[in-house]
Amino acid sequence: MGTDLSIRNLQVSVEGKQILRGLNLEVKQGEVHALMGPNGSGKSTLAYALMGHPKYHIDDGEVFLGGESLLEMSADERARHGLFLAFQYPTAISGVTLADFLRRSISAVRYAHAGRSAEAAENGQRKSTLMPMREFRRELLQKMKDLGVDQSFARRYVNEGFSGGEKKRVEILHMAMLAPKIAILDETDSGLDIDALRTVAEGVQALIGPQLGVLLITHYQRLLNYIKPHFVHILLDGQLVESGGAELAEMLEAKGYDWVREKYAEPVALTSDSAE
Amino acid sequence: MSTAQDERVEVRAMKGEYQFGFHDADQSVFRAKKGLDRTIVEQISEIKKEPQWMRDYRLRALDIFLQKPLPTWGGNVAVIDFDDIYYYVKPTQGEGRTWEDVPENIKKTFDRLGIPEAEKKFLAGVGAQYDSEVVYHSLKEDLERLGVIFVSPDQALQEYPDLMKEYFGTIIPPEDNKFAALNTAVWSGGSFIYVPPGVKVDVPLQAYFRINSENMGQFERTMIIVDEGAQVHYVEGCTAPTYSSESLHSAVVEIICKPGSRVRYTTIQNWADNVYNLVTKRAVAYEEATMEWVDGNLGSKLTMKYPSVYMRGKGAHAEILSIAFAGHGQHQDAGGKVVHGAPHTSSIITSKSISKDGGRSSYRGLVKVTDGAKGARSKVVCDALILDKASRSDTYPVMEIDESEVSIAHEASVSRIQDEQLFYLMSRGLSETEASVMIVNGFIEPLVKELPMEYAVEMNRLIELQMEGSVG
């Protein structure tokens, strides 16, 4: 029984502007999907909409996670159902230590896994359901070691003063701790130098297995040198226009996005951005 | 964490409501009639068997109180009906030295508030006041042997009359303000502390103030004298039952920090939201002395409180950390005052306020540097967090600088919880309430981490309670 992510005809708008125009995609546990596309094609919109950011308005379509309708759920419920989003720009939370955040987060998600109602957590039983400190510490220190995150980060405030690479590494650390069923990685490679990229990619690679489905959102092919996708999709103007295997990414690397534009997006392409 | 404390936590955690709103049936041994006049003041003095000078002092203060107009700034105090208040309610015949001496119902109340438990674990001494009188007092033997005094001021008046006469009202005279005059006229209970030269009291002394009666006025008086090179940390907590009518708490706290001494005074004020909390707190710091106020205001209907430090000796240092949380129907008018009256004195005022559900928090502060206080340095930082559109935050900073060789800095910021922060935390499994609590606790973290661990935990928990039920 897999907890698969199933996206059907998803249409999303932001501040009245339609971004996703009917997107269909299946990500099964154990699969790695790369989603590529030029700037402004809607990649990050998909990531935020799937995680439930209130700014992203669902105009139409359905999304299921393990057969349950995702769109009815708040972001925290989605997390508790096994969905994870590694942010492109993780926000800083001043005064909150990474350890405290991780412990509460993990407790919230595992508590849900234990099959008790989320309502109970709301009614103040939270304290009694915090993961025991000793157990948490052991697990955190091990995972930090695995990912090459210095122990001192546990006492630092969440993302405050972290470098780009440190933020991304901590996102992957969080993912490792939460052990999601489906993980969306939003431009996890952006802003990283080659060494940081390798560390982060190896961290992700180590988590990939039959229990994890990955939707890897990336602009460039370089991350895919480290993480081999089973499927590659190209997003253009809010729709998936090409799907294939790893060879599709290589073709993009060699030829850029222009050929995709030429092939698919007649009138729209003319008005879309010309950053490439 | 012990079982007793866990139980407390559970009781409080049940709902986002005030957890200390319970009250005991009235079993007081004496209750003055409502209202305030000469007779009441004389009666209080009579019951306490006070020396003539104190009786005269009270009566003089009463005249000042009656003459002085109500303040027209800050919160609305014009609605207080001074004739509808009990000014003196004596709960027991005497002060207990052990908890066994304390009447069962009162002891039970302090048990529920976790005081005996905390005393066993991390306090060097405890005072517990119930309505008008201190019902329990203790001090560790080793401190007593070192000459440390920690008693109620009523007891101090009997046992250390010279110290009381020398210092009483010297820092805050009745002429200072209307509520200081009121306190001086009808004061009862509080703490009296003396720390001899060079003695360092390294675990906190705590006083707990509990109002039980309805329409009660609690007027405790606290005097702390810390001799040269000595050190003490005093903590006070306060709660009251929730009644439909208002109560008044109007304390006066006078502190003398002699040269080279170090004093920290921590307040975690958690009155019920029917209490007017109008308190005057002031310290004088002499050469190289350090005075720190850590002032947490979470409860009350209206709080007006600006702990102040008058630096009268070269190199004295003042620190004021203020945390205010204004929820529905609450107005926290808090802040601090520092007066640099000597060269090379330094001060830091840090204020963090949170307003939610229509609550109003104000920072009101004064930085004064007198002529000749060369090399004075002062820094004021005020951060306000507003949780919704109905809530309000204001700052009223005043600076009076009469010396040119000084360094003065003032920073202020107002922020709201950002959607991006909420979404980030929620995407990791935290409910909206949990996420908001986490952001708010992070906001006050720079101040909370200054508290001893037990109080930091308490503060975070109180914030959590204030937040629950308010979001989502």
Summarised one tens digit per residue, pLDDT across range B234-245 is 999 999 998 889
Query: Which of B286, B305, B324 lies at the terminal end of a domain, its last residue?
Result: B305
Contacts of B11 in chain A (CB under 8 A): none
The residue with tokens 């969440």 is: A158
| Residue B8, in any domain of the structure | yes
Could you tell me if B255 and B133 lie in one domain? yes
Per-residue model confidence (pLDDT) at position B447 = 83
**Interchain CB distance below 8 Å, A76 and B427:** yes
Which helix (H) or strand (E) segment is A111 a member of?
helix A98-113
Query: Which of B269, B284, B305 lies at the terminal end of a domain, its last residue?
Result: B305
pLDDT confidence tier of residue A114, bands split at 50, 70 and 90: low
By three-state DSSP, how is residue A4 classified? coil
Query: Which of B290, B305, B320 lies at the terminal end of a domain, its last residue?
Result: B305
* Best residue of B385, B423, B449, B461 to probe chain A, by most A CBs closer than 10 Å: B423
**Interchain CB distance below 8 Å, B438 and A104:** yes
Per-residue model confidence (pLDDT) at position A119 = 45
CA geometry: angle at B437 spanning B431 and B442, to 5°? 125
The residue with tokens 């990336």 is: A218
Beta-strand pair B317-326/B275-285: unpaired
Report the candidate in A24, A155, A15, A20 with the shortest Cα–Cα distance to residue A96. A155
**CA–CA separation, B109 and B313 (whole Å):** 43
Q: Which residues contact B12 (CB under 8 A, 6 or more apart)?
A: B19, B461, B465
Could you tell me if B285 and B430 lie in one domain? no
**HEC-encoded secondary structure of A198-213:** HHHHHHHHHHCCCCCE
**CA–CA separation, B282 and B291 (whole Å):** 10
* Angle at which helices B115-122 and B104-112 cross, to 10°: 70
Could you tell me if B424 and B301 lie in one domain? no
Nearest-Cα residue of chain B relative to residue A175: B428
Q: Give B339-384 pLDDT, tens digit per residue.
A: 999 999 999 999 999 999 999 999 999 999 999 999 999 999 999 9
Q: Is the pLDDT of residue A276 over 80?
A: no
| Residue B449, in any domain of the structure | yes
| Residue B379, in any domain of the structure | no
E strands along chain A, which residues?
Answer: 5-14, 17-27, 32-36, 56-65, 68-69, 83-86, 93-97, 157-158, 182-186, 213-218, 231-236, 239-244
**CA–CA separation, B222 and B134 (whole Å):** 12
Nearest-Cα residue of chain B relative to residue A125: B13
pLDDT confidence tier of residue A113, bands split at 50, 70 and 90: low
**CA–CA separation, A213 and A5 (whole Å):** 8
The residue ranges of chain B whose pLDDT is under 70 are 1-17, 469-472
**Interchain CB distance below 8 Å, B426 and A75:** yes
Q: Is the pLDDT of residue A44 over 50?
A: yes
Instruction: State whether the Cα torsion A222-A227-A231-A233 is positive or negative.
Output: negative
CA dihedral (A88, A93, A97, A102) in degrees, to 10, reads -50
Q: Which domain holds residue B443?
A: 419-472
A-to-B residue pairs, Cβ atoms closer than 8 angstroms: 97
Which residue numbers of A have CB closer than 8 Å to B's CBs? 51-55, 74-76, 78-80, 84-85, 87, 90-91, 93-96, 100-101, 104-106, 108-109, 112, 118, 121-127, 157, 174, 178
**Interchain CB distance below 8 Å, A105 and B9:** no
A109-115: average pLDDT: 70
Q: How far is B470 from chain A (nearest CA, A)?
A: 12
Question: Which residues make beta-bridge pairs with B130?
Answer: B133, B210
Per-residue model confidence (pLDDT) at position A120 = 46
Per-residue model confidence (pLDDT) at position B3 = 39
Residue scoring higher pLDDT (A111 or B374): B374
**CA–CA separation, A241 and A248 (whole Å):** 12
Per-residue model confidence (pLDDT) at position B38 = 96
Per-residue model confidence (pLDDT) at position A265 = 62
Per-residue model confidence (pLDDT) at position B463 = 83
Q: Which residues contact A96 (CB under 8 A, 6 or more apart)?
A: A157, A158, B438, B439, B441, B442, B445
pLDDT confidence tier of residue A116, bands split at 50, 70 and 90: very low
Buried b / exposed e along A260-272 (16+ C-beta atoms within 10 A): bbeeebeeebeeb
pLDDT confidence tier of residue A267, bands split at 50, 70 and 90: low
Per-residue model confidence (pLDDT) at position A196 = 87
| Residue B341, in any domain of the structure | no
Nearest-Cα residue of chain A relative to residue B471: A122
> Do residues B251 and B190 make contact, with C-beta atoms less than 8 angstroms apart?
yes
CA geometry: angle at B44 spanning B41 and B47, to 5°? 150
Could you tell me if B46 and B194 lie in one domain? yes
Report the candidate in A247, A244, A181, A245 with the shortest Cα–Cα distance to residue A211. A181
- Total domains in chain B come to 2
> Do residues B22 and B112 make contact, with C-beta atoms less than 8 angstroms apart?
yes
| Residue B318, in any domain of the structure | no
Residue scoring higher pLDDT (B5 or A176): A176
Nearest-Cα residue of chain A relative to residue B432: A76
Q: Euclidean distance between the first and final Cα of chain A, in Å?
A: 42
Q: Does B468 touch chain A (CB under 8 A)?
A: yes
By three-state DSSP, how is residue B69 classified? coil
| Residue B342, in any domain of the structure | no
| Residue B443, in any domain of the structure | yes
Token reading at A87: 């942010």
Q: Please give the DSSP secondary-structure letter assigned to residue B71.
A: P
Whether the predicted interface score ipTM is above 0.90: yes
Per-residue model confidence (pLDDT) at position B455 = 84
Q: Euclidean distance between the first and final Cα of chain B, in Å?
A: 31
Report all structural domains of chain A as residue ranges with CATH numbers, in order of start.
5-271 (3.40.50.300)
Nearest-Cα residue of chain B relative to residue A160: B442
| Residue B375, in any domain of the structure | no
Q: Is the pLDDT of residue A191 over 90?
A: no
**Burial of A201 per CB tally in 10 Å (0-12, 13-18, 19+):** buried
Question: Which residues make beta-bridge pairs with B367?
Answer: B338, B399
Report the candidate in B142, B174, B164, B211 with the shortest Cα–Cα distance to residue B64. B174
Stated pTM of the model: 0.83
Mean pLDDT for chain A?
88
